[in-house]
Structure 1
Amino acid sequence: MTAFFWIFSFINFALISVLMLIWGERRLIGKFQARLGPNRWGPLGLFTPIADAIKVMFKEDVEPSLSDKLIYVLAPILMVVPVFMIFPVIPYGAKSFLTNISVGVVFVLAITSINSLSVLMAGWASGNRFAIIGGIRAVAMLLSYEIPMGISAAGVVIIAGSLSLNEVIEAQIIPNAIFQPLGFLTFLVASTAELNRSPFDITEAESELVAGYMTDYSSMKFGLFYLGEFMATIASSAIIVTFYLSGWRGPSFLPIPSEFWFFAKWIGVISIFIWFRATFPRLRIDQIMSLAWKGLFELSLINILVIALMMAIWPDPTMTQLFIMTGINWVVFIGSVYIFGKILSPDLTGNKMDKRKVVYGLD
């Protein structure tokens, strides 16, 4: 009975969080674009996500005649179910967690990688050329960005000396976002790509692929994809807070519950993802792949090399040594970003262009 209660509570918590995120994102993007956003259903449009959910549930459920029925149905389920498995292992407070598994870091990284499988299944099962192209794009991009994400997470594990999420938080005397900014930047960008959010939303590029892998989905199957994407955003934000923002830890001199600090940081990271969507234009597929293999991959290797060397020199650092290590990491961060920024920036001086690349609209 207790297990059922906790499972029921986490599912409802996730669903309510998704509804609030949908409403908050639409309102915030409206502010970015100097408009009101949803404001009709309920005070400040709070009931708009509920109205959208009711509309989706009552739409006709159409299945393409050329689709693979079994995979077509399983794909949206596979998008949603694994994300639910992340929430019970996240420590929301000093004593607020459902379970503390010893390999929590590996577990959450493994669960997040299942997303690419569901997207490929959806594109392939639909029998639609736009959906197939969107699915193939997704797998190419997601697999490319999982590598720098995993390497960046290895830097967190080296510092903590453990794969347990609770011990990762307790080891952050200085938040990892400050202690290893290069790893934080790499993980944040890779997470944005894993979520298929702007500027990495090439899998459902409306101007090119209609709705990408979701083109032939309707009713609740489409709703499950929509739900899964927003739940993944919430889960990834919680992972970033745990890995790099010291989780539930806050100033010890303030008598504030540890859960408050976690949720405040959680909302802050989600706001960053929304800011990305409102600000950056979508990248081309070649630009996205170049960023993964010519930028983030090398930056993540530099980060883990520097972290490993410093931990070998100072295996049990004092506070003074931690500040020295932080300074070294910031020097490496600024230098690496500057150098790779120069390498990845297009050469527009003298209208020079690589003739081997075809860029439509510039020929």
Structure 2
Amino acid sequence: MKIALFIHEWIVGLIPAEITGLTQMVLIALTYLTLFAVLGLYLVLLERRVAAWFQLRIGPNRVGYQGLLQTMADALKLLTKELTGTVKADKFLYNLAPYFVIITSLMALGIFPFTKNLQAYDLNIGLFFLIAISSIGVIGILLGGWSSNNKYSLIGAMRSGVQTISYELSIGLSLLTMVLLTGSLQLSEIVEVQKNGWLIVQGHIPAIIAFMIYMIAGTAETNRAPFDMVEAESELGAGFHTEYSGMKFAYFFLAEFINMFIIAAIATTVFFGGWLSPFGITESIPWLGVFWFLLKTFVLVFLMMWFRWTFPRLRVDQLLTLEWKYLLPINLANIVIMALIVWLGLTLQF
């Protein structure tokens, strides 16, 4: 029973049948919008805490208990700030760009299976959908940078286009390597396959290589250090969103952290068994699956934050060299090796 069916059964006796479907969709949308907002705000707080830990600082600790309300205060500040922009900006595209970024992130979040029964929509081409929808977000960045009529914003937007298009190849190929192992694009089926062992174990060394490439490319895809050439504060001010303020800036900022969660959630689902417990007790306690899914995901989120606060920023030529001369050839060879392992039936199961 998926989340939509659960909500349908709950409201079917409360309201007329004619509007049951509409009410159901509205409730699911509100649930995911709330999750989106809360998750984004507290990922920002986690980022600040991790940065402080790496830099031997305390971090936010004044607003609320241990600074837990700091990001809420920041959100209220952005809500009340004036929406400014350049006089010569393309107003329609300038205002449209943030919604491209935020909506694509929300659509991607909607198909993750947090547990066997907690999933908004279970697409049979779920993994393909995630790859496709993630490529649309860069349109918002390109539109925002170009429509701002600011040369620094335009440079940041063009860098984003080059970087995203390049590293999407490695993300797609590393996930395709695991699709060969599972034989399915449906996220719930990919998790079910892992009841006999996580795919990163079943797939031998090629699965480990695919995971490593995926995390490197995923970090680049989200424009985070050491791949933050898109923003590059020391060079471009703030990059593609230099001319944005208030909630429009907040949309870009929030989407970056949600995208980081999405990258980590895909890795959790494909490589580490999704909601499945390492100890085989998830089925007896269904809601425990949410705990395991979020725990694995946040460990990978921490890994991406570790990258940011450890490695220096790459130059543009180094960034593209890493993808086209190293990651892409390794990925292609890795797919061939995985295909041979599957063909010979050498996968490990426990």
CA contact 2:40–2:255 (8 Å) conserved in 1: no
Residue 174 (structure 1) shift? 2.9
Pick one of 178, 201, 222 that aligns with 2:249. 222
- Alignment match, 1:157: 179
Q: TM-score, normalised by structure 2?
A: 0.88
Pick one of 96, 102, 123 that aligns with 1:80. 102
Alpha-carbon distance between aligned partners in 2 of 1:291 and 1:57, rounded to the nearest angstrom: 39
Matched AA of 2:40:
V
The 5 A counterparts of 1:333-352 are none
Gaps (5+ residues) in structure 2? 1-22
- Alignment match, 2:155: 133
Alpha-carbon distance between aligned partners in 1 of 2:248 and 2:224, rounded to the nearest angstrom: 20
Let me know the Cα RMSD of the aligned residues. Answer: 1.5
CA contact 1:71–1:122 (8 Å) conserved in 2: yes
Q: Secondary structure at the match of 2:243?
A: coil
Deviations 1:137-163 (A, max 9, x none): 110111000011111111111111111
Q: How many residues align?
A: 319
- Alignment match, 1:174: 197
Alpha-carbon distance between aligned partners in 1 of 2:84 and 2:243, rounded to the nearest angstrom: 8
The reply to whether residue 298 of structure 1 matches residue 325 of structure 2 is no
The 5 A counterparts of 1:34-73 are 34-73=56-95
Alpha-carbon distance between aligned partners in 2 of 1:310 and 1:323, rounded to the nearest angstrom: 10
The more displaced of 200-209 and 242-251 is 242-251
Pick one of 46, 56, 60 that aligns with 1:24. 46
Deviations 1:254-285 (A, max 9, x none): 75522221111011111111111111111111
Pick one of 282, 293, 304 that aligns with 1:262. 293
- Alignment match, 2:304: 273
Deviations 1:13-51 (A, max 9, x none): 111111111111101211111010011111111111011
Residue 176 (structure 1) shift? 2.7
Alpha-carbon distance between aligned partners in 2 of 1:216 and 1:176, rounded to the nearest angstrom: 44
Alpha-carbon distance between aligned partners in 2 of 1:98 and 1:219, rounded to the nearest angstrom: 31
CA contact 1:82–1:111 (8 Å) conserved in 2: yes
Deviations 1:75-124 (A, max 9, x none): 11111011111122111112221221110011011111112211111111
CA contact 1:156–1:168 (8 Å) conserved in 2: no
- Alignment match, 1:231: 258
Residue 6 (structure 1) shift? 1.3
- The percent identity for this pair of structures is 36
Deviations 1:147-202 (A, max 9, x none): 11111111111111111011111122332333310110111111100000110000
CA contact 1:67–1:126 (8 Å) conserved in 2: yes
Residue 323 (structure 1) shift? 3.5
Alpha-carbon distance between aligned partners in 2 of 1:132 and 1:87, rounded to the nearest angstrom: 29
- Alignment match, 2:3: none
The reply to whether residue 115 of structure 1 matches residue 137 of structure 2 is yes
